[in-house]
Amino acid sequence: MVTGHFGLAAAVKSVERPVPLWALMLATVWLDVIFVPLYLAGVERIDNVPGTNGGYGDGIIHADYTHSLLGALVIAAATGLLCTRWWGRRCGAVIGAVVFSHWLLDLVVHHTDMPLLPGNLGDLPRLGLGLWRYHAVTAAIEALLVLVGAALYWRAAQQAGGPARRVNLVTALIVGCGALTLALDIAGI
Ligand SMILES: [Zn+2]
């Protein structure tokens, strides 16, 4: 899941207004951002689900450090602490929670490839509810998350009395970025 995470970030912004929107957007995909250099270094990898070409939802993701339960908790806590120094305790806690929300949303869609401990230490059972088996359902849920998040953001920003043009522009940007990432996701790019 990529797109749906942005919807959650927009929804959080609607209730936690002091936290910068860009920071929430980055926090919500922070585990995937850290995954990229590890993937390029060959530390984490993606295998195709057997019998597929590895398109949308057909990857078995061995992100054994960034997407292990303990790894995600440590990254979330460290990021939250760092943000506390800049924006205070409340914002830091929100950012940390949003970073960890990525793991929870991924848990719903991932195949059973998410370890409990970094590096799958102890070879414990892996987690993942596997909603990705149903491509159309997962894509619809991701799109819905973005639309609901954008709508909540739009309503909250309007009530807060922000300049209408700016509120509409940011909302359109959220929906546009959501649609684009979902399209790229489905196209397997
Ligand atoms: Zn992820």
pLDDT in tens, 12-24: 999 999 999 999 9
What confidence category does residue 189 fall into, taking pLDDT thresholds of 50, 70 and 90?
A: low
Structure tokens at 90: 């409340």
* Cα 116 to averaged position of ligand 1 atoms, centre (Å): 15
- The reported pLDDT for the residue numbered 55 is 87
Distance CA 127, CA 68 (A): 9
Q: Kindly report, residue by residue over 110-148, the tens digit of the pLDDT.
A: 999 999 999 999 999 999 999 999 999 999 999 999 999
Number of domains in the chain: 1
Structure tokens at 112: 């059973």
Please give the structure tokens belonging to residue 107.
């848990």
Q: Is the pLDDT score of 45 beyond 70? A: yes
Q: Rounded to the nearest whole angstrom, what is the distance from the C-alpha of residue 105 to the centroid of ligand 1?
A: 8
Distance in angstroms (rounded) separating the CA atoms of residues 5 and 185:
13
In terms of residue numbers, what domain contains 169? Answer: 3-187
- State in Å, rounded, how far the first CA of the chain is from the last one: 13
Give residue 153 CA to ligand 1 midpoint distance, Å. 23
Distance 1 CA to ligand 1 centre (A): 6
pTM: predicted TM-score of the whole model, two decimal places: 0.92
